[in-house]
Amino acid sequence: MQQPTDLNEALIFVRVVEAGSLTAAAERLTMQKSTVSRKLTAMENRLDVRLIQRSTRRLTLTDIGAEHYERCRQIVQAFEEAELALRRVHEEPSGHLRLVMPIEFGQRFLARVIARFLQRYPQVTIEAELTSRRVDIIEEGIDLAIRVDPGHEPDLVCRKLVSAPVRLLASPAYLDRHPRLRHPSDLAYHNCIRNSSSLAHKTWCLHKNDEKIVINPTGNLILNNITAVREALKAHAGIGTVPNLICQDAINHGELVEVLPGWQLPAGNIYGMYMPRRFMPLALEKLLDHCVDEIATTEASPQVRETA
């Protein structure tokens, strides 16, 4: 008759391998060394295999022991994560988080999102830096970086927070004084305000149904700040592209209108970048979910005024 599986044996086996000795494993498990040795021997007898070669100086995994360790390690980790998830149901997020984010996104949106998060979870403290510099997340000990361009950093976890619609905009006064636009090709006769910090500042790709057209915008003003582009458009300087999160208020107040309605620009993406961890801090997990929910709510029903 097959003997029942003892999960305690699997846990003890994993801890012995990780600790490198029976004595160290017993200390971590707060058990007697003799108990640890007995449980390990019972496991080997039940399975009828030698998992660990013992000597007076060290323990060495056998080949089959190494394979079994990896399986047991995954089981123990899954059990720990399941227990952590249950504890977190009643756990209150706490601790200190360090954030970095683009200046415009932080000013226009994330500051109030974070404020609402802290009202909900008052035991969390957040230190946020609004900057345009490329921050070394690992070197500077940053918990979360909000980025438009995630770059290629394989040592980091990259979570897409939202797709942000981008709009082609101008002020009503500018459009009243310049030739009417009926097709993207008409942009050649207009002053296009460009954002040099954008990945797509040299070309504007517009599409409508199955028709696509690439425009090389030209104009007398190039800026490296999206908020500055928005303010220049409000001052009747020309036509430019601005993410909806940055321009929605100006649209709602009639300061900007959408140019070439029906033609769409590729949406930009906003990412959360953070260091991989076996167990993510609950405060960071909750903050990421909160940001996604807040952005989704903001983007759910944009009110856009269009040119006739």
Q: What is the DSSP string of 69-138?
A: HHHHHHHHHHHHHHHHHHHHTTPPP-EEEEEEE-HHHIIIIIHHHHHHHHHH-TTEEEEEEE-SS---TT
**Residue at which a domain ends, from 35, 58, 88:** 88
- Give the domain-ending residue among 88, 113, 145: 88
Residues 244 and 303: their CA atoms lie apart, in Å, by: 10
In this structure, are 129 and 67 located in the same domain?
no
Distance CA 220, CA 193 (A): 7
The answer to the question of residue 306 being in a domain is no
Residues 60 and 82 in one domain: yes
Burial string for 120-131 (b: 16+ CB within 10 Å, else e) reads ebeebebebebe
Count structural domains, the chain: 3
Same domain for 75 and 99, yes or no, is no
Residue 308 lies in a domain: no
36 in a structural domain:
yes
pLDDT of amino acid 291? 85
Domain span at residue 34 reads 7-88
13 within some domain? yes
Whole-number Å distance between alpha carbons of 186 and 278? 54
Residues 157 and 287 in one domain: yes
Query: Are both 20 and 69 inside the same structural domain?
Result: yes
Same domain, 180 and 240: yes
* CB of 102 closer than 8 Å to CB of 146: yes
Under 8 Å between Cβ of 236 and 174: yes
The reply to whether 42 and 57 lie within a common domain is yes
2 found inside a domain:
no
Instruction: Examine the domain organization and report whether 176 and 142 are in the same domain.
Output: no
Does one domain contain both 284 and 159?
yes
Pairwise CA distance, residues 173 & 237, whole Å = 10
Q: Are 9 and 36 in contact (CB under 8 A)?
A: no
Per-residue confidence (pLDDT) for residue 214, from 0 to 100: 92
How many whole angstroms from its chain centre is CA 257?
31
How much is the pTM?
0.58
**C-alpha 134: how far from its chain's center?**
16
In a domain, 1, yes or no: no
Q: What are phi and psi of 135, to 5 degrees?
A: -90, 135
The CATH number of the domain holding residue 212 is: 3.40.190.290
Name the domain boundary from 67, 88, 109.
Answer: 88
Per-residue confidence of the chain (308 residues) as pLDDT tens digits? 456 667 788 888 888 888 888 888 888 888 888 888 888 888 888 888 898 888 767 788 899 988 998 988 888 888 877 777 666 665 788 889 999 988 877 877 788 888 999 999 999 999 999 887 888 888 888 999 988 777 777 788 888 887 778 899 999 999 999 988 999 999 999 999 998 876 556 789 999 988 899 989 999 999 988 888 999 999 999 999 998 878 888 999 999 999 999 899 988 788 888 988 766 788 998 898 888 887 666 554 444 334 43
One domain for residues 145 and 230: no
Structure tokens at 305: 């005024």
The pLDDT assigned to 4 comes to 60
Judge whether 304 lies within some domain.
Answer: no
Q: What is the pLDDT of residue 89?
A: 60
- 255 and 278 part of one domain: no
CATH assignment of the domain containing 21: 1.10.10.10
What's the burial of 96, exposed, middle or buried (CB within 10 Å: 0-12/13-18/19+)? exposed
- 79 and 15 share one domain: yes
